[in-house]
Homo-oligomer: A and B are copies of this chain.
Amino acid sequence: MHLLCQAQQAESDFRKVILIMTAIISIGNEILLGRTLNTNLQYLATELAALGLEAEYAITIKDDPREIGKALAYCWENYRIVICTGGLGPTDDDITKSSIAEFFSAPLIHDEAVWEHVQNLFSRRNQPTPQTNRNQALVPQGFEVLRNDMGTAPGLHYSDNSKSFFALPGVPLEMQWLFETHIRQRLRGSYNNKPLVVSNMHTWGISESLLAEKLEHFPWPQEIKHAWLPQTGRVDLRLYGSDEQLIENTRKALMEEIGSYVWAIDAQSPAWQLGQLLRSQGLKLAVVESCTGGLLGDMITEVPGASDYFLGGVVSYANRIKEEVLGVPAEIIESLGAVSEETALAMLSGLQKLSRADLAVSITGIAGPDGGSPEKPVGLVCFAFACKDTKYAKTMIFNGSRVSIRFKAAEYAILELIRLLESRSL
């Protein structure tokens, strides 16, 4: 079991970095039925890591008193901090609170302040308070009530022997508001926790295993832990530890080995990185999209402040829009197809005329599931790029589902624009 020994060593190194372990319990039939994606876990895990309080264990269970009791028993025994989300809504599928009350032997009592808060919320909307909401004013005796300005269900807090238990409603907006308002402050430093320093090196154009091979003999410092994070179509290398300087030195040494594949360090996203470059170079961007239907523009404008550098563009999904709005010659589409480098270049020219952008990109492709042919299979996407006097087309083939092809195509456009701008600034 050589591998196991190695792993145990790595694990024990890792524990030197992170001291206090936390468990997260997600309650919800809907997660287990696949109907809801558990974004609350990601939010809490991220926030805890930033506080140096890593989530060590996460469990998803049904709205079932027996399961809730078992999960509480296990987590409260094994972890210093336990955070439970979900199952605090007004309707009859919510039984969490009773189970919590039973586990902590704390009878449920009526809290007048919570009841007034619930009634206020409804009267502000000019609605009568439904009687089903009355049970939201029940709280386990001895628990601290965490006021919820975003909804009717309060958060709950119990602490005992330097252990903390929190119960939060499952609606992401309310859960996040409660964490930010009440919990982050309570947890900051209260367990001698040392914030974790994290740095991501974002690579593109090389596989995880080839990267790992290039770093086979890299002298990793013992205090730095690293992990490979496969993204859709690319890989991130993440470093973490508690010593910022050591992380920086390690990153510099890594750049010597794999720097040519690294498109950014600690970028929030490719679109964010593109925005930084556009802003620093004082350039304006426009886009024209066919198969991605607006996704590229969406990614770019998801970044706050995108109006500093993004003009907009055209979604030319139908050929009529390509021809009439962008002036793509009908002959090109007829003879070479709507998905061709020639069409991509003609779309780009039309966009440049309409927008007078410094930087422009066009996308036209076959996202599937239908519309492919032996010569032009599903996943084939043609791009054209223009930056000042440079102008060129590229063709790629992406695999996966419709969603995944569209995503990869939009992200490819962004990464290629980053490459273009980075080569300009050299």
Contact = CB atoms under 8 A, between A and B. Distances in A.
Contacts of A99: 4
A228 B301 contact: no
A311 B307 contact: no
Contacts of A266: none
A37 B232 CA distance: 13
Interface in A298-342: 298, 300-302, 304-307, 310-318, 320-321, 324-325
Contact of A132 (B1, B98, B213, B311): B213
A400 interface: yes
A272 to B, nearest CB: 13
Nearest to A294: B297
Contacts of A36: 42, 229
A7 B404 contact: no
Judged by DSSP, the binding face of A is mixed
A276 to B, nearest CB: 17
A61 B65 contact: no
Contacts of A359: none
Given A54-B32, A95-B7, A210-B130, A300 B304 contact: no
A47 to B, nearest CB: 7
A331 B98 CA distance: 60
Contacts of A49: 33-34
A230 B300 contact: no
A20 interface: no
B1 A208 contact: no
Contact of A315 (B91, B207, B294): B294
Interface in A156-202: 171, 173, 198
Contact of A61 (B45, B57, B286, B297): B57
Contact of A42 (B37, B66, B198): B37
A133 B304 contact: no
Given A64-B11, A316-B312, A89 B230 contact: yes
A292 interface: yes
Given A64-B11, A306-B317, A45 B56 contact: no
Interface string A267-305: 000000000000000001011011111111110111011
A301 B317 contact: yes
Given A7-B64, A304-B368, 7 more contacts: A3-B98, A7-B98, A57-B60, A59-B60, A130-B209, A293-B312, A297-B315
Interface of A: 1, 3-4, 6-8, 10-11, 29-39, 41-49, 54-67, 89-93, 95, 98-99, 102, 127, 130-133, 135, 152, 171, 173, 198, 207-210, 212-213, 216, 226-230, 238, 240, 284, 286-287, 289-298, 300-302, 304-307, 310-318, 320-321, 324-325, 354-355, 367-370, 399-400, 402-404, 406
20 contacts: A3-B98, A4-B98, A6-B95, A11-B65, A32-B55, A33-B49, A57-B60, A58-B60, A93-B226, A93-B227, A171-B230, A173-B399, A289-B297, A291-B301, A295-B297, A310-B317, A312-B315, A312-B318, A314-B325, A320-B355
Q: Which 4 A-B pairs have the closest CB atoms?
A: A294-B297, A293-B301, A34-B46, A294-B294
